[in-house]
Amino acid sequence: MTLAQPESVRVGVLGARGRMGLEVCKAVDAAPGLELVARIDAGDPLSSAAEAGARVLVDFTNPGVVMDNLRWAVGQGIHVVVGTSGFTQERLDEVRALLAESPGTGVVIAPNFGIGAVLMMQFAARAARYFDSVEIIEQHHPRKLDAPSGTAMHTARLIADARKAADCPPMPDATEEDFGGARGASVDGVHIHAVRAAGLVAHQEVLFGTAGETLTIRHDSLDRSSFMPGVILAVREVVKRPGLTLGLDDLLA
Amino acid sequence: MTLAQPESVRVGVLGARGRMGLEVCKAVDAAPGLELVARIDAGDPLSSAAEAGARVLVDFTNPGVVMDNLRWAVGQGIHVVVGTSGFTQERLDEVRALLAESPGTGVVIAPNFGIGAVLMMQFAARAARYFDSVEIIEQHHPRKLDAPSGTAMHTARLIADARKAADCPPMPDATEEDFGGARGASVDGVHIHAVRAAGLVAHQEVLFGTAGETLTIRHDSLDRSSFMPGVILAVREVVKRPGLTLGLDDLLA
Amino acid sequence: MTLAQPESVRVGVLGARGRMGLEVCKAVDAAPGLELVARIDAGDPLSSAAEAGARVLVDFTNPGVVMDNLRWAVGQGIHVVVGTSGFTQERLDEVRALLAESPGTGVVIAPNFGIGAVLMMQFAARAARYFDSVEIIEQHHPRKLDAPSGTAMHTARLIADARKAADCPPMPDATEEDFGGARGASVDGVHIHAVRAAGLVAHQEVLFGTAGETLTIRHDSLDRSSFMPGVILAVREVVKRPGLTLGLDDLLA
Amino acid sequence: MTLAQPESVRVGVLGARGRMGLEVCKAVDAAPGLELVARIDAGDPLSSAAEAGARVLVDFTNPGVVMDNLRWAVGQGIHVVVGTSGFTQERLDEVRALLAESPGTGVVIAPNFGIGAVLMMQFAARAARYFDSVEIIEQHHPRKLDAPSGTAMHTARLIADARKAADCPPMPDATEEDFGGARGASVDGVHIHAVRAAGLVAHQEVLFGTAGETLTIRHDSLDRSSFMPGVILAVREVVKRPGLTLGLDDLLA
């Protein structure tokens, strides 16, 4: 026998029939302490979330409707976890203004709910100052349109900022002849190599080196289920964090 | 033209003719802001360090003489960075007592000066609570007498402690038949696999996994030069940290 | 405009509604030079394959029906590629007898259609004699019941046989203390380490080492689509190879 | 008691005081069945090799003297294993002419005595036709002047030749935007990525992929001792192979 859990958090999902929304519904359903009370998609009234008693909404919709969803939810004092993209500075300012008028309510907006990816970037930023060299190798399926990946670019900038803050000297590199550009792209002085091959999904390796040792941080992502632990973490945390939280970094203890 | 650096730190090395001592002398010599002023080994008087004006001593001697070295140096108000092994609780207590009587003096004692290894352990401890599974694969040259390595055992304990503190459930493992012990050793519930092969030096991989993603932290150590950045960091930091500091963790910003 | 390909090979699939069968139908459909002419499953008459003019049948059914399928197909002079398991020596002898009476017909029976896995094993067997040491690290999802994997056991035996044939000395290993069995299983003298973690699918690494160098062969399998190139290869080859072919090794040019 | 081995092969080393020569002397000395009978360097007469009864000479000298050494040795009927560089087509033709007049004598000339590297290239050439995609990632210390490495270029050409011979279609690659050249160099259509970082020595990874699986062949070379097994193999084989042998490929059984 399992005891009733009187404090389980009631959760509604917006965009519940989308690819991410379906995964979120499954994940909320399976998470101890959370209860899925509303699956809402295009055509369904937002009010049904309130009627179902949702305390948190998870929004994986689209940039065209997400601001309306936020206006309504924050107005109702319902917390929101947002994975929808397209948040400009202007939009973030509006969310802050909405929250200022609803001081107990929390909103988490994250571009990436992969805890592994977030930790990889945190660790990379932290290690950056202690090594002479660092390069990034990202590997993706061959249908990807852009190189390097956004995550690799972001990681390179975090590393460059950390090295600059610690007054690190430039990395050693005696290359005189680089046939055909084999040394890859340099983003803020950090070299990035983009591999594209069938059979790959989404992978990134950050390689740090100093005389006699290397430290490698590697993240392999195989499917979108990997984002669910981050969504669940955000749902659990948003109820304790009034105001706007950007990214998962602050939620990781 | 380089300006004179009036504040360069004067450093003496104890055990200067040993394998590690020789590396330390080279590294101090090459480090900006540090000046090697004394190379001392068995038979040389400690007083020559004081005569040379050493402000910091680095001790890579042996358990039979290290306590005498510490008594003398702390008595003189000279800071000490210690890589010598054999520090029991009793010895640490005596060092604390010595330092209590010389309040401006600092001592750093570290079992491992490899910054990469220290960061690997920090990252592993931090990631531990966010993944369903974690296993350690350590790989060493075949002349190593013990398996698993001390670093692997220590890492496993850090991970187990972090998972316990976060109330993580046991890791999933449906293994019913384990022919010949292929699943390796379990240290506090964390599986460790010890690979021994010619051509290897000292390597460790910590593999974290959750549905759809894995995060891998890998450290490769090729020779003892890899310990020098940690020794130099400790020399720079010990002059700012009165009292006893154990390990490099606190020195890493 | 694409020219008609008058020599396209007409293919039928037995077990067409099973998980593997569905993949095979898709793969045959997409393969240049092959034409899918019959999808047959439990309840469908085998004769429909002959009526559709199938020149090759692919059998992913089950041990209870596969022999009947082979008796019928070989009797008709239809070539067969078999992925169904359960082939004892007795069954193989019967297949050889059937083929002796139908001399132009070919049958390929393979336990593993993953070309990558087959190549990994070939390369491992070939490299075995040239290195002092070799160990196997296999990594699978935590729902797997057995450790080590069948592929790892088979690889270890191939390596051991190759080393024996070349009179290799025992591998160096100074381990005196192996806490908790961290050195893993030894199969014919080859150490195997079995890692189980969420987020993994099916991976194997074979690590060879000699003083100063290592050679690593790694296979990562993410889903059953990875078996299709091997099935298609077997379909193309079986029409040129009368008699019984066991495994993909001989089909790889 | 060890029995005398009447058939041990007597070996002389030319360039015996150079970095490679010293390693070769040590390796020959330690190899069962070989006997080091002459260490010859600049200033020493070649005739001392004959006086010592050398049956095989190993030449790690320089392009300025290697042809004279070969003319003398082949004239004496002494087999030669050559690691010295600078062999143009013209020089190879002269060696063939010398050997034509001394039909029982063998010469092995190899640009790379690393068995691991040679096997990596063999395996890569063999796997090339079976995968949709292949890319090369080579990683070296930051003092290296050229990118990509000669080994990577050579591997790419072997792969391209094998794919062409098998009529492989172009590799899939949807990249539309390649910021800063992150996709690396393309050598005969095979992408090469060159990583340079402190702590690295000489490493190469060849990554093959098809839907659902990848196969990775990786070689790590840590120091020049890794070339010795290849030198010893060549010494043992040259006595059985009259005429000119180029590279180790044919010597690997």
Do A249 and A118 contact (CB within 8 A), yes or no?
yes
pLDDT confidence tier of residue C253, bands split at 50, 70 and 90: confident
Answer yes or no: is C221 a known binding residue.
no
* pLDDT tens digit sequence for B134-153: 999 999 999 999 999 999 99
Answer yes or no: is A15 a known binding residue.
yes
- Closest by Cα among B18, B13, B26 to B225: B26
What is the per-residue pLDDT for A85?
87
What is the per-residue pLDDT for D208?
98
pLDDT confidence tier of residue D6, bands split at 50, 70 and 90: low
Query: Judged by CB atoms within 8 Å, which residues 164-193 of A form the interface with D?
Result: 171-187, 191-193
Do B8 and B34 contact (CB within 8 A), yes or no?
yes
| DSSP per-residue string spanning A17-30 | TSHHHHHHHHHHHH
What is the per-residue pLDDT for A1?
46
Instruction: Show which subunits contact D, needing at least 3 CB pairs below 8 angstroms.
Output: A, B, C
Residue linked to tokens 């092994």: B85
Q: What ranges make up the beta strands (E) of chain C?
A: 9-14, 34-40, 56-59, 79-82, 106-109, 133-140, 146-147, 177-178, 185-187, 190-196, 202-210, 213-221, 243-246
Q: How far apart are CA B239 and CA B251, in angstroms?
A: 12
- Is the pLDDT at C55 greater than 80? The verdict is yes
Do B15 and B21 contact (CB within 8 A), yes or no?
yes
Question: Per the CB < 8 Å rule, is D215 touching C219?
Answer: yes
Rg (Cα) of chain A, in Å, rounded? Answer: 21
Question: Per the CB < 8 Å rule, is D171 touching A211?
Answer: no
- Closest by Cα among B156, B130, B121, B126 to B214: B130
Do A235 and A113 contact (CB within 8 A), yes or no?
no
Interface B-D: count of C-beta contacts within 8 A: 9
- Closest by Cα among C140, C136, C138, C152 to C196: C140
- Is the pLDDT at A120 greater than 60? The verdict is yes
CA distance D115 to chain C (A): 7
Residue C123 has its nearest CB partner, among D123, D131, D213, at D123
Do C148 and C192 contact (CB within 8 A), yes or no?
yes
- B220 interaction partners in chain A (CB closer than 8 Å): 213-216
What is the per-residue pLDDT for B80?
98
* pLDDT tens digit sequence for A64-108: 999 999 999 999 999 999 999 889 999 999 999 999 999 999 999
Q: How far apart are CA C240 and CA C234, in angstroms?
A: 10
CA distance A53 to chain D (A): 43
What is the per-residue pLDDT for D44?
94
Average pLDDT, chain C: 94
DSSP C31: S
Determine how many CB atoms are found less than 10 A away from the CB of residue D184.
27
Interface B-C: count of C-beta contacts within 8 A: 192
What is the per-residue pLDDT for C6?
56
Do D172 and A142 contact (CB within 8 A), yes or no?
yes
Residue C147 has its nearest CB partner, among B182, B192, B214, at B182
Q: What is the mean pLDDT of residues B229-241?
A: 96
| DSSP per-residue string spanning D144-173 | --EES-HHHHHHHHHHHHHHHHTTPPPPP-
What is the per-residue pLDDT for B178?
92
Q: What is the mean pLDDT of residues D154-173?
A: 97
Residue A116 has its nearest CB partner, among B117, B213, B229, at B213
The residue from A26, A79, A144, A193 that is catalytic is A144
Residues 6+ apart with CB under 8 A from A74: A80, A95, A98, A99, A102, A105, A107
Kindly tell me the burial class for residue B50, based on how many C-beta atoms sit within 10 Å of its own C-beta (0-12, 13-18, 19 or more).
middle
- Active-site residue flag, C164: no
Question: Per the CB < 8 Å rule, is A185 touching D180?
Answer: yes
Do D174 and A143 contact (CB within 8 A), yes or no?
yes
Q: What is the mean pLDDT of residues C13-32?
A: 96
What is the per-residue pLDDT for A6?
56
Cα angle value B167/B168/B172 (rounded, 5°): 150
- How far the first Cα of chain B sits from its last, in Å, is 31
Q: What is the mean pLDDT of residues D45-70?
A: 96
- Closest by Cα among D132, D131, D128, D89 to D109: D89
Determine how many CB atoms are found less than 10 A away from the CB of residue D32.
9
Residues 6+ apart with CB under 8 A from D104: D77, D242
Question: Per the CB < 8 Å rule, is C213 touching D116?
Answer: yes
Structure token digits, residue B5: 């650096």
The verdict on D60 touching C (C-beta cutoff 8 Å) is: no
- C223 interaction partners in chain D (CB closer than 8 Å): 212
Q: What percent of chain B has pLDDT over 90?
A: 92
Do B162 and B129 contact (CB within 8 A), yes or no?
yes
CA distance C220 to chain A (A): 9
Rg (Cα) of chain D, in Å, rounded? Answer: 21
Q: How far apart are CA B37 and CA B15, in angstroms?
A: 14
Structure token digits, residue C57: 């049948």
Question: Per the CB < 8 Å rule, is A201 touching C220?
Answer: no
Answer yes or no: is A4 a known binding residue.
no
What is the per-residue pLDDT for D224?
81
Residue D147 has its nearest CB partner, among A153, A178, A200, at A178
Answer yes or no: is C85 a known binding residue.
yes
Question: Per the CB < 8 Å rule, is A226 touching C201?
Answer: no
- Half-sphere exposure in the Cβ direction for C138 (13 Å, CA): 28
- Is the pLDDT at B64 greater than 90? The verdict is yes
CA distance D215 to chain A (A): 9
Structure token digits, residue B139: 């790989």
Answer yes or no: is D17 a known binding residue.
yes
* pLDDT tens digit sequence for C170-222: 999 999 989 899 999 999 999 999 999 999 999 999 999 999 999 999 999 99
Answer yes or no: is B110 a known binding residue.
yes
CA distance C15 to chain B (A): 29
What is the per-residue pLDDT for D1?
46
* pLDDT tens digit sequence for C124-164: 999 999 999 999 999 999 999 999 999 999 999 999 999 99
Answer yes or no: is B84 a known binding residue.
yes
Do B247 and B111 contact (CB within 8 A), yes or no?
yes
Q: What percent of chain D has pLDDT over 90?
A: 92
Question: Per the CB < 8 Å rule, is C214 touching D252?
Answer: no
CA distance D78 to chain C (A): 27
DSSP C85: -
Question: C58 pairs with which residues across the strands?
Answer: C13, C81
Q: How far apart are CA A134 and CA A128, in angstroms?
A: 7
- Active-site residue flag, A79: no
What is the per-residue pLDDT for D158?
97
Instruction: Show which subunits contact C, needing at least 3 CB pairs below 8 angstroms.
Output: A, B, D
Residue B142 has its nearest CB partner, among C152, C173, C180, at C173
Question: Per the CB < 8 Å rule, is B132 touching C195?
Answer: no
Q: How far apart are CA D228 and CA D236, in angstroms?
A: 12
- Is the pLDDT at B164 greater than 50? The verdict is yes
Average pLDDT, chain A: 94
What is the per-residue pLDDT for C2?
53
- Closest by Cα among A218, A139, A121 to A184: A139
Q: In what order do the strands lie in the sheet with A243-246?
A: A34-40, A9-14, A56-59, A79-82, A106-109, A243-246
Answer yes or no: is D110 a known binding residue.
yes
Query: Which residue in D has a C-alpha nearest to residue B222's C-alpha?
Result: D199
- Is the pLDDT at C57 greater than 60? The verdict is yes
- B201 interaction partners in chain D (CB closer than 8 Å): 222
Q: How far apart are CA A234 and CA A79, in angstroms?
A: 10
Query: Judged by CB atoms within 8 Å, which residues 78-137 of C form the interface with B?
Result: 131-135, 137
CA distance B72 to chain D (A): 37
Query: Judged by CB atoms within 8 Å, which residues 189-228 of B form the interface with A?
Result: 208, 210-228
- B214 interaction partners in chain C (CB closer than 8 Å): 197, 199-200
pLDDT confidence tier of residue C1, bands split at 50, 70 and 90: very low
CA distance D128 to chain A (A): 13
Residue C225 has its nearest CB partner, among D127, D211, D229, at D211
User: Which of residues B6 and B24 earns the better pLDDT score?
Assistant: B24
- C123 interaction partners in chain D (CB closer than 8 Å): 119, 123, 126-127, 217
Question: Per the CB < 8 Å rule, is D201 touching B222?
Answer: yes
Question: Per the CB < 8 Å rule, is C221 touching D213?
Answer: yes
What is the per-residue pLDDT for A86?
86
What is the per-residue pLDDT for A112?
85
Query: Which residue in D has a C-alpha nearest to residue C212's C-alpha?
Result: D226
- B187 interaction partners in chain C (CB closer than 8 Å): 179-180
Query: Which residue in A has a C-alpha nearest to residue D153's C-alpha?
Result: A179
Answer yes or no: is A186 a known binding residue.
no
Sign of CA dihedral D198, C136, B150, B249: positive
Question: Per the CB < 8 Å rule, is D214 touching A199?
Answer: yes
Q: How far is CA A243 from CA A9, A132, D224, in A?
A: 19, 40, 60
Q: SS3 of C34, please?
A: strand
Average pLDDT, chain D: 94
- Closest by Cα among A137, D212, A136 to C203: D212
- Half-sphere exposure in the Cβ direction for A94 (13 Å, CA): 12
- Closest by Cα among A153, A183, A155, A189 to A171: A189
Answer yes or no: is C180 a known binding residue.
no
Query: Judged by CB atoms within 8 Å, which residues 147-166 of D form the interface with A?
Result: 147-148, 152-153
